[in-house]
Amino acid sequence: METDVLIIGGGPAGLAAAIETATRGLDVTIVDESSSLGGQLCQQTQLIRPLPSVYQPMRGFELAKVLTEQINDFTVGTLLNHRVIGLYADGSVGLSDEEKVFPVKAKKIVVATGAAEQAVAFPKWTLPGIITIGAAQTLVNRDFVMPGKEAVIVGSSDFALDVASQLLEVGVEVKGIVEKNPAAAAREKEKTDALIGRGIPFYFNSFIKEARGNGQVEEIDIEVNGEILTVSADVVCIDGGRSPILDSFYQLGCSFGYQKELGGWIPQYNRQFKTDRENVFLAGNAAGISQQGALLLTGMIAGISICEDLQTIRSGEAEEIRDALWEELKLSEYKDVWEGRTKHIEKFSSPVLKDQFIS
Amino acid sequence: METSYETIVIGGGVVGNGIAFHLSERYKEGVLVLDKKYPMSGTSGSTQAWVWVHNKTPSWYAEFNMYSAELYPYLSKKIGDVEYKRTGGLSPFFNESDREKAKQLAESYRKIGIKIKVLSREKVLEKEPFMNPEVAGATYSSIDGNVNPFRLIDMYMRASKKNGVHYSTYNKVTEIQKQDGKYIVVSDQATYVCKNLILAGGTWSRELGEMLGIKIPVNQLRGQILVSEPLKPFLNFTISGLRQANNGEVLMGYSMEQAGFNRATTLDVIQETANMAVRYVPALGKAKIVRAFSGIRAMPEDGFPILGKVPGFENLYVAATHSGVTLSPLIGTLITELILDGETSIPIDRYSLSRFG
């Protein structure tokens, strides 16, 4: 199989890159391991903002629909339930549908594999009922399953507080929010205030000492300022933050750098969102954890850069659009994330980790 | 920091560690092992780790491998459990026409005391019920087996350190000079001086030799290995190309490519390897592959070990070989004898670097 642009990951960033490239006449193929496009947006019922100026603020699943509809009118092939498992010697990407493996030869590749949630370990953390915050949201919003009756949430990021509200809406009792720092991690203070207003206890300077239960979690010990508080719960949702999914970059031989503000190790890339491997671009959380609006912008920049490389857009015009998108990106993400990204791009030609397959 | 040593071993792989440990049994101080990365990060950590004798040719080379395999049980007693298992080795063949060749191999081995049986199809399937029923027969030797390479090197290092060996890792050697009958070894972290110098750089032997103007003709050969999900124990023997590890994972590898130091894996070879494995053991068609990795093997130009004194250089030794896991205890023993006694208990002249002229 051959294609102009192979996009690995059909989430918001991958779709944004697909829209930019497909609308400019390129033949685009999106591969995604799940059974639908939209990635994590599909189960997000919270309002997503800010979004790039071309979109009105809307809920996550609505955005997934809007993005997917935009590619329908163009030559975009979608390979759902397929995953990238490796590379052939000639550089073709190997896809598998669990039955067969076949090569795809692409002029350009966009890696938009997103991010994975991280867990926070504590004694008995493997008991059933202890799940990540994202898993709790997926159960409620995608599968319409209540994850439990009494929940404790570990971590207090904006996302964790969004999910806390969603759990409350479907009738789950939120017994408390445990945060190791002295204040909530959420940047939007109104989210914290709203939950406090509904009587949800926040335990600051606190952590889970231990979980207990027979066959599944039944109660947990929270250490609050040196004292143990035992709380009954049948679901514990852990928000350990997210880190970029790097497997495809690793297989492609990309260089990496460490940028704490962007989620840790990430591939090196330049202003075009191009890695140091020829013809390999990237977008979205895989290029650094940020907000939904920013993720779309990174996909758009990668898409424009590919169009420039494949000459479906004049270089001068591409540069203009890219500059405008970068300006918007600056306004769409938190200052520390933006600064981390700027620093990361400066290190493009001096990566910390490179040539990892060379002994 | 100590920079003066009696003996320095460059290379902390299975060969360098084998030498360091055996040296440390006989003298307690003054040995340093230098590694450019960390032991197990190179060839020795990316291998199926067979301890394999049978079907190595010619028979004198098989004999050399057999001596080393015979040392393994004793080695385990000295350094601890390295998960050495003498499973026996099966080399299946699928054409009846190969039986004659197999018989000739068995005959040539018989003369040097290695017992190899040529098995009928029925006998193979009785021993290894999951083998492809289309098999025509197999050669079988009871001396073959495998070892856990990570445990092997870890236990070598623990035992060596206990005996006073020093290790310096992430410390690449960049320059070697000969001065006043001593060797000056310049590395990333320090400059060392020693009387005896042992080049055990594996795949990097050629580069090490060049530092002293010596040609050590070792090339790189890439092997790609697939790892299955853990499966219930179902393979009894070490079979050509595959074996089942203690944790149930099946390791599969048949490939040899020239790719320099590039350790990437390619789906072309991965698919070929999977097809080969399924040809040998059809049930593997149902197994999930969880991982693939490449190892860069050291391959001397004529395929045989390069061992012993370096001609024209006093107190300089080289140990560079393929099959390092199999040969490690023997090479460690022989190089120790050569350094401390001036001669070896079995002749190694045939493996001298001088054969390359």
Is the minimum CB–CB distance between A185 and chain B shorter than 8 Å? no
| pLDDT band per the 50, 70, 90 thresholds, residue A207 | very high
| Closest by Cβ to A86, choosing from B263, B265, B296 | B265
Q: Is the pLDDT of residue B133 over 90?
A: yes
**Given this structure, which CATH class describes domain B89-141?**
alpha beta
- Asked if residue A41 lies in contact with residue A51, where contact means CB atoms within 8 angstroms, the answer is no
User: In chain A, pLDDT over 70 holds for what percent of residues?
Assistant: 100
Q: Which of residues 271-330 of B touch A (CB under 8 A)?
A: 271, 292, 294, 296
- Contacts A–B by Cβ distance under 8 A: 34
Lowest mean pLDDT among A164-173, A234-243, A332-341, B23-32: B23-32
| pLDDT band per the 50, 70, 90 thresholds, residue B54 | confident
Token pair of A295 as six digits: 């993720």
pLDDT computed for residue A73 by the predictor: 83
Is the minimum CB–CB distance between B135 and chain A shorter than 8 Å? no
Q: Which residues in B lie closer than 8 A to residue A358 (C-beta atoms)?
A: 261-263
Token pair of B81 as six digits: 């459990």
| pLDDT band per the 50, 70, 90 thresholds, residue A355 | confident
| pLDDT band per the 50, 70, 90 thresholds, residue A359 | confident
Q: Which domains does chain A have, with CATH numbers?
A: 2-116+242-346 (3.50.50.60), 119-238 (3.50.50.60)
CB contact under 8 A, B42 and A359: yes
**Given this structure, which CATH class describes domain B219-300?**
alpha beta
Alpha helix stretches (DSSP H) within chain B? 14-26, 59-79, 98-111, 121-127, 149-162, 205-210, 267-280, 324-341
Q: Give the residue-averaged pLDDT of A306-323.
A: 97
Mean pLDDT across chain B: 96
Which CATH architecture group holds B4-49+150-217+303-356? 3-Layer(bba) Sandwich (3.50)
Q: Is the pLDDT of residue A223 over 80?
A: yes
Q: Give the residue-averaged pLDDT of B266-294.
A: 96
| pLDDT band per the 50, 70, 90 thresholds, residue B29 | confident
pLDDT computed for residue B336 by the predictor: 97
B232 Cβ contact partners less than 8 Å away, ≥ 6 residues apart: B248
Is the minimum CB–CB distance between B268 and chain A shorter than 8 Å? yes
pLDDT computed for residue B113 by the predictor: 86
Is the minimum CB–CB distance between A101 and chain B shorter than 8 Å? yes
CA A187-A190-A194 angle, 5° bins: 130
pLDDT computed for residue A49 by the predictor: 85
Report pLDDT digits (tens) over B226-252. Answer: 999 999 999 999 998 999 999 999 999
Report pLDDT digits (tens) over B64-96. Answer: 999 999 999 999 999 999 999 999 999 999 999
Fold identical between B89-141 and B219-300? yes
Global ipTM: 0.85
- For residue A223, the SS3 value is strand
* Strands B238-239, B89-93: pairing kind: parallel
What single string gives the DSSP state of each residue in B279-332? HH-GGGGGSPEEEEEEEEEEEETTSS-EEEEPTTSTTEEEEE-SSHHHHHHHHH
Report pLDDT digits (tens) over A250-263. Answer: 999 999 999 999 99
Task: Report d(CA B248, CA B104) in Å as an integer.
Answer: 35
Report pLDDT digits (tens) over A173-188. Answer: 999 999 999 999 999 9
Q: Give the residue-averaged pLDDT of A231-247.
A: 96
Q: Give the residue-averaged pLDDT of A95-100.
A: 93
Nearest residue of B to residue A100, measured between CA atoms: B271
| pLDDT band per the 50, 70, 90 thresholds, residue A75 | confident
pLDDT computed for residue B111 by the predictor: 87
Q: What is residue A321's DSSP assignment? A: H
Q: What is the pTM of this model?
A: 0.88
Q: What residue segments make up the domains of chain B, in order of their start?
A: 4-49+150-217+303-356, 89-141, 219-300
Report pLDDT digits (tens) over B170-204. Answer: 999 999 999 999 999 999 999 999 999 999 999 99
Is the minimum CB–CB distance between B259 and chain A shorter than 8 Å? no
Q: What is residue A280's DSSP assignment? A: E
| Closest by Cβ to A357, choosing from B264, B270, B271 | B264
**In this structure, how many other beta carbons lie within 10 angstroms of the beta carbon of residue A243?**
17
